């Protein structure tokens, strides 16, 4: 069996598993994976919470594969690391503060146990055991930092003042960052739905964007050759209308395609 055929069969099987566990991907999605995958990279989406992630990956040239977190099982994590070309960690509720040595603030709403156990395992393994691309969005960005040994501001309003939930605001990117190179600009407006943010930066990461009130809005790997980026905003919600934000997903997919060739 040649490699494209093998990848197509595995991708179809994973989509079937995801569907079995209750993920509705849309009528057009199974047709997209039944074709030869060609050069399209396989992108794992941990714990799907919105079809926007599927559409964003698909429309950017990747093949989205939803990873079930049923029972919090980590049995297939090693197989995912081998099979997938990129990993997208999506938004959601809060990581238990015990993961970074703190008691929970009264505003913390914890991830359910199954999702927590699975995402903790796959994010840490992906970062430590591969050099493949990872894009973290909102909670996903926080997972990148916590999995790398960092900590979080548990509640922005009470700890720092201000509000970053259900608003639009400006972000300022570091001009020498990979993120700034992707966007081709260093200041623009983003959507915002979070009440937590990076506090102490994790090992191997650097801060590359802040809001005008100083809240950390994005991090990336200190390794210039690795695509490991976390953003607090939701580019997938702004696509396809916002072509600026589409640049981030397209850069992620292109990096995954390059990693597949190595």
Residue 26: CA count within 13 A, CB half-sphere: 14
Entry pTM: 0.88
pLDDT digits (tens, 9 = 90+) for 38-77: 789 999 999 988 999 999 999 999 999 999 999 999 999 9
Both tokens assigned to 178: 């990979």
Binned at pLDDT 50, 70 and 90, residue 192 comes out as very high
Q: Which residue has the higher pLDDT, 8 or 213?
A: 213
Structure tokens at 152: 């979080």
Q: How many domains does the chain have?
A: 1
pLDDT tens string 119-155: 999 999 999 999 999 999 999 999 999 999 999 999 9
Which residues are identified as catalytic?
Answer: 138, 234, 236
**Residues of the domain holding 105:** 3-261
Sign of the Cα torsion 124, 236, 153, 215 reads positive
Mean pLDDT estimate for the chain: 88
Mean pLDDT in residue range 90-117: 97
CATH number at residue 86: 3.40.50.880
Coil vs helix vs strand at 28: coil
> If phi over 0 gives left and psi between -120 and 50 gives alpha, with beta otherwise, what is residue 33?
alpha
């Amino acid at each position: 069996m040649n490699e494209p055929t093998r990848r197509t069969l595995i991708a179809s099987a994973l989509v079937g598993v995801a569907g079995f566990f209750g993920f509705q991907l849309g009528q057009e999605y199974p047709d997209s994976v039944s074709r030869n995958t060609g050069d399209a990279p396989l992108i794992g989406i941990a714990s799907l919470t919105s079809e926007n992630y599927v559409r964003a990956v698909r429309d950017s040239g990747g093949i989205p594969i939803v990873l079930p977190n049923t029972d919090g099982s980590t049995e297939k994590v090693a197989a995912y690391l081998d099979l997938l070309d990129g990993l997208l960690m999506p938004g959601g509720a809060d990581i238990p503060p015990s993961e970074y040595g703190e008691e929970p603030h009264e505003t913390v709403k914890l991830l359910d146990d199954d999702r927590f156990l699975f995402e903790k395992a796959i994010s840490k393994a992906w970062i430590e055991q591969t050099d493949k691309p990872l894009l973290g969005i909102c909670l996903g960005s926080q997972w990148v930092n916590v999995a790398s040994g960092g900590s979080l501001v548990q509640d922005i309003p009470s700890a720092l003042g201000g509000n970053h939930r259900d608003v639009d605001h400006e972000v300022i990117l570091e001009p020498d960052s990979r993120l700034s190179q992707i966007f081709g600009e260093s200041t623009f407006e983003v959507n915002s739905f979070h009440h937590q943010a990076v506090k102490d930066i994790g090992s191997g990461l650097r801060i590359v964007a802040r809001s005008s009130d100083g809240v950390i809005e994005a991090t990336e790997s200190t390794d210039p050759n690795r695509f490991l980026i976390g953003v607090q905003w939701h580019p997938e919600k702004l696509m396809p209308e916002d072509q600026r934000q589409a640049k981030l997903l397209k850069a992620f997919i292109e990096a995954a395609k390059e990693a597949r060739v190595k």
